[in-house]
Amino acid sequence: MAQNIKGHDNHRRDIVVIDIPKPANFTGGLEFNALTYTVTKKQKVEGAWESQEVDLLHQIGGYAPKGSITAVMGPSGAGKSTLLDALAGRIASGSLMGRVFLDGAEMSPSLIKRTSAYIMQEDRLFPMLTVYETLMFAADFRLGSISTADKKQRVEKLIEQLGLSSARNTYIGDEGNRGVSGGERRRVSIGVDIIHGPSLLFLDEPTSGLDSTSAHSVIEKVHDIARSGSTVILTIHQPSSRILLLLDHLIVLARGQLMFQGPPKDVTGHLGRMGRKVPAGENSLEYLIDVIQEYDQSHVGVEALAEFARTGVKPAKLTEGEGDVSVSTAAVVTPPPPSRLAAVAGGGDDRDQGGKSGNNNKRLYLKASRDVSVVDDFDHSVRSAYHSPSRSWTASHNGVVQKLKFTPPPPRNNLQYPMSSSSPGYYAYSSEILPHTPTPQSSDYTVNEHDYMTPGLVDHSNIDYGPKFANSFFPETLTLIRRNFINIGRTPELFLSRLVVLAVMGFMMATMFKDPPQTLQGITNRISFFIFTVCLFFFSSNDAIPAFIQERFVFVRETSHNAYRASTYTIAGLLTYLPFLALQAIVYALIVWFALKLRGSFLYFYVVLYVSLLSTNSFVVFVSSVVPNYILGYAAVIAFTALFFLFCGYFLSGHDIPWYWKWMNKISTMTYPYEGLLMNEYQTTDMFGRSNPDGKPVTGQNVLESLGIDTDLGSNKKWENVLIMLGWAVLYRVLFYLVLRFASKNQRT
């Protein structure tokens, strides 16, 4: 079936989708067809920078059998992780072309998320949780419908299955805290994502950074998981011979194109049909990679090997001096081997990963005719992999979709293709471009499932993929709050350091600004105390920047497969901070209020400090969700702090600030606590000193009037300031939530 798919470059591409040929013993698993991922890159051509399209994946098709380990391999830059991301639904739908099936049902990125788990190359775990606690929280998030006793039983069984019994009560650890070993940490990461028994398991370089023994142990556990009925797909760069024995199915890529697909034992035969004999004592897979690199470094390119994998046409032989290259120009159409899954037809839009036009003499283009006679040059092992000799596929040329029939060749050397009476042998013509192209989505959290489905292929109405999230809103929030309190309790330095700083600074302020004189200088000193208090509370939350940036990686990993909602994470984080912020504010308020004999309402003084901390904390958390690292986070917060301080009304009153900068006074989060503290102190007719040189009394109203602040004794302006601060706190948390939901995804665009 042909699809006219609109990519990110707004031009049309005709993709020919061919039935995936699979071995006769294929009983289900993941199938993918014509996966193409094109990006635009700047390249320098003859001294000028030009935008060129590059296929990171080019018409990749294949399958991953259920109950087996499928390893995606290839040289560096081959597209291994890109293919894994494409299969796992981690590429934006508008950027990826092609289709993915699970047990015969076409899947969208959102549906794949519900039925799969993705283990990243880096182990993103909370360092101060034990192995048991980490897996138990994973069970709470992913197994919300079962009882706590059943969750504990499943966790205990998983710990035993992963060989983590001796590390059960050991902290995960990090660079500064001793914990489990690297191999154990990797197995914990796997356990976190398989606790709910996913049918699909993706692993990106699971052996990276591990010694050979730990790497073999990890793959051995993954092998056991696959044998339990899961479909496992992983990327691996250079497996050892012991690990290679545990791999069931290989997909070898180079420059985004398929080089080989099949079991490891078939690599030798694949090289033999290519005309390459594996040297004695050498690993056949490593030799295949060497051959791929030889062609990649030659002027022939890896396209010849990709053509051989698709059609069986032998690649050109490389001479020692790279002088003469024997190129076969026979325009034959041969039956596709198991790795032959898709072909590009029509339009001549045939580019390799480097953006170069392909050689038509080395490319296979399907002709628009009802019957195509073909000849083959495959051995018996390849032919026996087919279900049916009578196959059909679709070609498109100049916007017209054509159905083509494959007619098997006559027997040769007493070898025949296995016949199938169920195959119709031909299909009717269709002269229309099929509608319903994929719709690019701004976020895979708001996916419309029907935008991804090709009508008429599979009825998804009767398929139950379960709820998107395992828990309802409130239990999920409570679980997140409980985990937050455990992490804070085991890393108390963050809040204790803030508390100590505020207590020490409060003591210093109480001794420095005690008993101000009844003069204008005394009033100035008291105003200086208030502005310093506001700045102190603003800066006290800056240390939350690296804490959240580190936690953000865990959030991305856990929410990439719907462990919990971004909204519950946001609310849980806010509720967790509230008691600690209240404690910080009350300690400082008690120290300075009585020592400095401040006027007004102590309750209001405390509320202003508390809400100021809340709004400042929300601002810092929002900034830390936007910046890529804590260095830029600190720089951004310091820059905004300087701007807020400049326009808060201390240096220039609100009336004296130029009209074109008044908006800065309104958005400064320091303006409202500063004015609120001044109004609480000076919104009175009491005298605070005498002016010089006439000695007239200066009342609180005179002070506020000179600062351009409301002097009405019956005004509710000071409580309005509290509400505005609360509004800023809510706004920053909403922005934080929006960033988490729509921007903090481990997904390619």
Q: Is the pLDDT of residue 731 over 60?
A: yes
Select the more confidently predicted residue: 220 or 445. 220
Cα–Cα distance, 100 to 89 (Å, whole number): 9
Contact between 241 and 283 (Cβ < 8 Å): yes
Task: pLDDT band for 528, please (50, 70, 90 cuts).
Answer: very high
Tell me whether residue 19 is in a domain: no
The residue from 280, 311, 342 where one domain ends is 311
Reduced to 3 states (helix: H, G, I; strand: E, B; else coil), residue 717 is: helix
Cα–Cα distance, 492 to 722 (Å, whole number): 29
Q: Which residues pair with 71 in a beta bridge?
A: 234, 250
Give how many domains the chain has, as a whole number.
2
The residue from 311, 333, 368 where one domain ends is 311
Query: 259: number of CA atoms within 13 Å, CB side?
Result: 27
CA 586 → CA 231, 511, 617, 675, distances in Å? 56, 18, 16, 20
Q: Is the pLDDT of residue 707 over 90?
A: no
Tell me whether residue 356 is in a domain: no
Reduced to 3 states (helix: H, G, I; strand: E, B; else coil), residue 85 is: helix
CATH code for the domain in which residue 129 is found: 3.40.50.300
Cα–Cα distance, 564 to 554 (Å, whole number): 12
Tell me whether residue 306 is in a domain: yes
Tell me whether residue 421 is in a domain: no
Q: Show the domain range for 600.
A: 473-744
Reduced to 3 states (helix: H, G, I; strand: E, B; else coil), residue 597 is: coil
Percent of the chain, pLDDT > 70? 75
Please give the distance of CA 370 from its chain centroid, rounded to a whole number: 46
Select the more confidently predicted residue: 397 or 236. 236
Q: What is the pLDDT of residue 275?
A: 87
Tell me whether residue 740 is in a domain: yes
Strand duo 69-73 + 249-254: pairing: parallel
Rounded mean pLDDT, 312-328: 60
Kind plus residue range of the DSSP H or E element containing 33? strand 29-45
Q: Whole-prediction pTM value?
A: 0.72
Average pLDDT, the chain: 76
Percent of the chain, pLDDT > 90? 34
100-124 pLDDT tens trace:
888 888 888 778 877 888 888 888 8
Task: pLDDT band for 231, please (50, 70, 90 cuts).
Answer: very high
- List the one residue out of 325, 248, 266 whose CA is nearest residue 67: 248
Q: What is the largest CA-CA distance in the chain?
A: 122
The residue from 270, 285, 311 where one domain ends is 311
Q: Is the pLDDT of residue 290 over 50?
A: yes
Task: pLDDT band for 340, please (50, 70, 90 cuts).
Answer: very low
The token pair at 184 is: 């154990």
Q: What is the pLDDT of residue 596?
A: 93
Cα–Cα distance, 36 to 342 (Å, whole number): 11
Cα–Cα distance, 560 to 141 (Å, whole number): 13
The token pair at 228 is: 């339990």
Q: Is the pLDDT of residue 73 over 60?
A: yes
Tell me whether residue 419 is in a domain: no
Tell me whether residue 273 is in a domain: yes
Residue position matching structure tokens 């949780």: 129
Q: What is the pLDDT of residue 19?
A: 52
Q: What is the pLDDT of residue 714?
A: 64
Tell me whether residue 389 is in a domain: no
List Cβ neighbours of 506 (8 Å cut-off, separation of 6 or more): 587, 588, 591, 592
Cα–Cα distance, 643 to 634 (Å, whole number): 14
Cα–Cα distance, 191 to 530 (Å, whole number): 52
Please count the other Cβ atoms lying within 10 Å of the Cβ belonging to residue 587. 15
Most confident residue range from 367-376, 586-595, 639-648, 716-725: 586-595
